[in-house]
C-alpha cells in the first residue's frame, strides 16, 4: 500500500472520532512523509500544529495508523514547510463532502421549525444565531449562562436580563439566540425582537398616524420582549415614556424582558432614571473581547458553519492580530476565504496580513515582519483619541485643545491628556504639542491628576472605563 493511502485510510478512522470542526482545522494539509522501521512520520504545516498534535492527537493517530497497517507502532510528527501555502498535503474536501452528503438527508426533515402564537414574530429572529454556536470562553461565560437560564424559565430566572458590551462582541447573537431557544422550548409563546431604533421609528409612525393601538398590541402582548441597543433611546423622551409603560406592563405580568446596550445601565447618558433603575432590577451581564484561545475556537466554529478549510496557523494568525471585536475577527476570516476562492487557493498568512494592512490594522507588524504577533492598539492616532473624548463629553475638539477654563472642558481635557499618555505612550512634550502647544508640565500635571482621580472620583472612573471600552483598549 502507498504511504498516502495509509494516511487517507487512517484519516477516515480519525474523522469519526474527532469533532468535525477540529478535524477540518487540524488535519487539513497534513501528509505522511515516510514509514520506516515501524515508525510513521506525519508532516504538519506548523510548529503550533506539531505541539497540538503531540498534546491532543498522538494516541489517536497512532491507533488509527496501527489499525490500517499493523507494522506501525510509533508515530513522529514533523513540521513540513512545503505543506503551506500551496498545500501539498491531503485535501480533506473529498472526505468532508462525502460526510456532508450522508448527513444532509438525515438532518433536513427534522429541522426545527420556529412557530409563534401569531406566526409573525419569528421572522424577526435570525435562525443562524443559537446558543450552541456562541462560543463560550473566559468573560462571556456568565452572559451565556444567564441567557441559557432565561431560555429554560422565561420571566422567572432573571428579569429583566441586561446584556452590555462594545460593538461586535456578540450581544445581538446572544439576544437572538435566546429568543430562538425560547420559541423552541415554548412554541406557544410570542417572542418579539426589535432594535431600539425600530421601536422608536414605530412609535413615531404610530403617533403620526394617530394609531398607537396596534403598536401597543404588538409589544404588550409579548411573552418575551427583546430590545437590542437600548442606548439608542438616549434623549428620546416620548420613546422612553412609551417603553417605560411597556416595560411595566410586561414586568408585572411576569413576562421576560431582555435588553442589550453598549454600556451598563449606570453609564447610560440621556436615559431617564426611572428606566435605568428598572434595568438594574434584574440581572446585568457583560460581554467583552474573548481571549486568544476563545477567538481561535470562534474561528474554528465559523469555519465549520461555513464548511471552509483553513490551515491552523492562518487561524492562529488571525486570532493573534484581531483582538478588537469578534465581528472584525469574522470579517477578516471571510475576506481571506473570499480572496483565496478567487485565486483558486486556500487562504494563507500572507493573504491575511494584506487584508489587515488594508484595514490599517497591522502597521506595526508590517514594518517588523519578524514580529508578526505583536499586539496592536485599536486606537492609533491622537486625532482618534480627541474625537472619541470630545464625542463622549459632548464638547468639540477645539474645546479640548483650546484654553477655555470652565469645568465642563477642564476634566475632558485632562482625560484627553491621560489617554494620550496611557494608551498612545506619548511623551509629555508631544502631548503638549498635540493639545494646542501646551507646556509639558501641564501635560504631566493633567496625567497625574487623572491617575489620582481614578483612586477617588467615581465619575472619572466611570468615564475613563466607558471611554476605554469605546476605544477598544
Ligand atoms: P454586537 O451585537 O455585540 O455588536 P454581534 O452579536 O452582531 O455583536 O456579533 C458580531 C459577530 O460576531 C456575529 O457574527 C456573531 O455571530 C459573532 N460572535 C460574537 N461573539 C461570538 C461568540 N462568542 N461565538 C461565536 N460567534 C460570536
Ligand atoms: Mg448588535
The SS3 assignment for 437 reads coil
Q: How far, in Å, from the CA of 168 to the mean position of ligand 2? A: 7
**What is the average pLDDT score of the chain?**
84
Asked if 152 and 161 count as a contact pair (C-beta separation under 8 A), the reply is no
Distance 329 CA to ligand 2 centre (A): 15
- Coil, strand, or helix at residue 74? strand
CA–CA dist 45, 216 (Å, integer): 59
Report how far residue 336's alpha carbon sits from residue 230's, in angstroms, rounded to the nearest whole number. 33
Looking at per-residue confidence, does 32 or 471 come out higher?
32
| pLDDT above 70: residue 361 | no
pLDDT tens digits for range 254-306: 999 999 999 999 999 999 999 999 999 999 999 999 999 999 999 999 998 88
Cell 447573537 found at = 173
pTM for the full model?
A: 0.58
pLDDT of residue 311: 92
Nearest ligand to the C-alpha atom of residue 178? 1
The Cα 339–Cα 357 span in angstroms is 15
pLDDT tens digits, 107-138: 333 333 344 444 433 457 888 899 999 999 87
CA–CA gap between residue 185 and residue 189 (Å, rounded): 9
What is the pLDDT averaged over residues 143-147? 95
Residue 170 confidence (pLDDT):
96
Could you give the count of Cα atoms lying within 13 Å of 75 in the half-sphere of its Cβ?
A: 24
Cβ proximity of 34 and 40 under 8 Å: yes
What are the angstrom distances between the C-alpha of 35 and each of 83, 185, 283, 367? Answer: 18, 53, 59, 42
Query: Looking at residues 24-33, what average pLDDT do you find?
Result: 84
Atom of ligand 1 nearest to the CA of 136: 23
Rounded to whole angstroms, how far apart are CA atoms 235 and 271?
6
Give residues whose Cβ lies within 5 Å of ion ligand 2: 171-172
Exposure class string for 225-245: b at 16+ Cβ within 10 A, else e? bbbbbbbbbeebeebbebbee
SS3 209: coil
Return the beta strands (E) in 71-195 as ranges. 74-79, 161-164, 191-195
Is residue 169 scored above 80 in pLDDT?
yes
Ligand number, closest to the Cα atom of 231 = 2
* 19 or 447, greater pLDDT: 447
**3-class SS of residue 394:** coil
The predicted pLDDT at position 165 comes to: 94
At residue 426 the predicted structure's pLDDT band, cuts being 50, 70 and 90, is confident
Whether the CB of 171 sits within 6 Å of ligand 1: yes
Cα of 32 vs centre of ligand 2, distance in Å, is: 45
- Tell the residue nearest (CA) to atom 16 of ligand 1: 173
Instruction: State whether the beta carbon of 166 lies less than 6 angstroms from ligand 1.
Output: no
Nearest residue (by CA) to ligand 1, atom 23, is 135
Beta bridge partners of 44: 79
- Average pLDDT score over residue span 386-393: 87
Report the greatest alpha carbon distance in the chain.
86
CB 149 within 8 A of CB 158: yes
pLDDT at 142: 93
pLDDT given for residue 376 in this prediction: 35
**Cα four-point dihedral sign 336, 338, 343, 345:** positive
Is the pLDDT assigned to residue 106 strictly greater than 80?
A: no
pLDDT tens digits, 36-95: 888 999 998 888 788 889 888 999 999 999 888 888 889 999 988 776 554 566 766 656
Query: What cell does 426 get?
Result: 506619548
Q: How much of the chain exceeds pLDDT 70, in percent?
A: 87
Q: Which of the ligands is closest to the CA of residue 325?
A: 1
* Predicted local confidence at residue 88, as pLDDT: 63
333 lines ligand 1 (CB under 6 A): no
The β-bridge partners of 43 are: 31, 78
Q: Is 378 left (phi over 0), alpha (psi -120 to 50) or beta?
A: alpha
pLDDT digits (tens, 9 = 90+) for 312-355: 999 999 999 998 889 999 999 999 998 888 888 889 999 999 89
Amino acid at each position: 500500500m502507498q504511504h498516502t493511502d495509509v494516511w487517507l485510510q487512517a484519516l477516515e478512522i480519525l474523522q469519526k472520532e474527532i469533532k468535525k470542526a477540529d478535524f477540518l482545522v487540524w488535519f487539513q494539509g497534513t501528509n505522511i512523509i515516510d514509514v520506516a522501521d515501524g515508525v510513521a512520520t506525519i508532516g504538519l504545516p506548523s510548529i503550533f500544529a506539531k505541539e497540538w498534535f503531540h498534546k491532543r492527537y498522538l494516541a489517536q493517530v497512532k491507533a488509527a495508523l496501527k489499525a490500517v497497517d499493523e507494522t506501525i507502532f510509533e508515530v513522529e510528527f514533523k513540521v513540513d514547510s512545503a505543506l503551506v501555502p500551496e498545500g501539498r498535503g491531503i485535501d480533506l474536501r473529498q472526505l468532508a463532502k462525502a460526510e456532508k452528503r450522508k448527513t444532509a438527508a438525515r438532518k433536513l426533515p427534522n429541522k426545527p421549525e420556529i412557530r409563534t402564537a401569531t406566526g409573525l414574530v419569528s421572522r424577526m429572529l435570525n435562525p443562524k444565531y443559537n446558543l450552541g454556536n456562541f462560543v463560550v470562553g473566559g468573560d462571556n461565560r456568565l452572559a451565556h449562562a444567564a441567557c441559557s437560564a432565561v431560555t429554560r424559565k422565561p420571566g422567572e430566572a432573571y428579569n429583566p436580563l441586561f446584556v452590555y458590551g462594545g460593538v461586535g462582541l456578540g450581544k445581538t447573537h446572544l439576544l437572538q439566540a435566546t429568543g430562538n431557544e425560547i420559541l423552541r422550548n415554548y412554541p406557544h409563546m410570542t417572542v418579539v425582537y426589535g432594535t431600539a431604533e425600530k421601536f422608536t421609528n414605530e412609535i413615531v409612525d404610530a403617533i403620526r398616524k394617530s394609531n398607537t393601538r396596534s403598536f401597543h398590541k404588538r409589544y404588550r402582548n409579548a411573552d418575551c420582549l427583546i430590545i437590542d441597543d437600548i442606548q439608542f433611546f438616549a434623549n428620546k423622551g416620548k420613546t422612553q415614556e412609551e417603553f417605560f409603560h411597556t416595560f411595566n406592563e410586561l414586568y408585572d405580568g411576569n413576562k421576560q424582558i431582555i435588553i442589550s446596550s453598549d454600556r451598563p445601565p449606570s453609564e447610560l447618558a440621556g436615559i431617564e432614571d426611572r428606566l435605568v433603575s428598572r434595568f438594574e432590577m434584574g440581572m446585568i451581564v457583560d460581554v467583552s473581547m474573548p481571549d486568544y484561545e476563545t477567538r481561535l475556537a470562534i474561528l474554528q466554529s465559523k469555519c465549520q458553519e461555513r464548511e471552509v478549510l483553513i490551515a491552523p496557523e492562518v487561524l492562529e494568525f488571525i486570532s493573534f492580530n484581531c483582538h478588537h471585536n469578534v465581528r472584525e475577527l469574522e470579517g477578516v476570516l471571510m475576506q481571506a476565504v473570499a480572496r483565496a476562492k478567487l485565486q483558486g487557493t486556500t487562504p494563507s498568512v500572507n493573504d491575511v496580513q494584506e487584508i489587515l494592512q488594508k484595514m490599517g490594522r497591522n502597521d506595526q507588524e508590517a514594518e517588523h515582519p519578524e514580529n508578526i504577533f505583536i499586539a496592536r492598539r485599536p486606537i492609533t492616532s491622537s486625532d482618534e483619541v480627541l474625537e472619541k473624548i470630545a464625542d463622549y463629553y459632548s464638547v468639540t475638539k477645539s474645546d479640548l485643545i483650546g484654553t477655555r477654563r470652565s469645568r465642563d472642558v477642564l476634566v475632558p481635557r485632562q482625560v484627553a491628556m491621560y489617554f494620550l499618555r496611557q494608551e498612545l505612550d506619548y511623551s509629555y512634550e508631544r502631548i503638549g504639542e498635540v493639545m494646542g502647544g501646551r507646556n509639558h508640565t501641564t501635560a504631566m500635571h493633567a496625567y497625574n491628576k487623572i491617575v489620582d482621580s481614578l483612586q477617588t472620583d467615581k465619575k472619572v472612573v466611570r468615564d475613563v472605563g466607558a471611554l476605554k471600552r469605546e476605544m477598544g483598549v
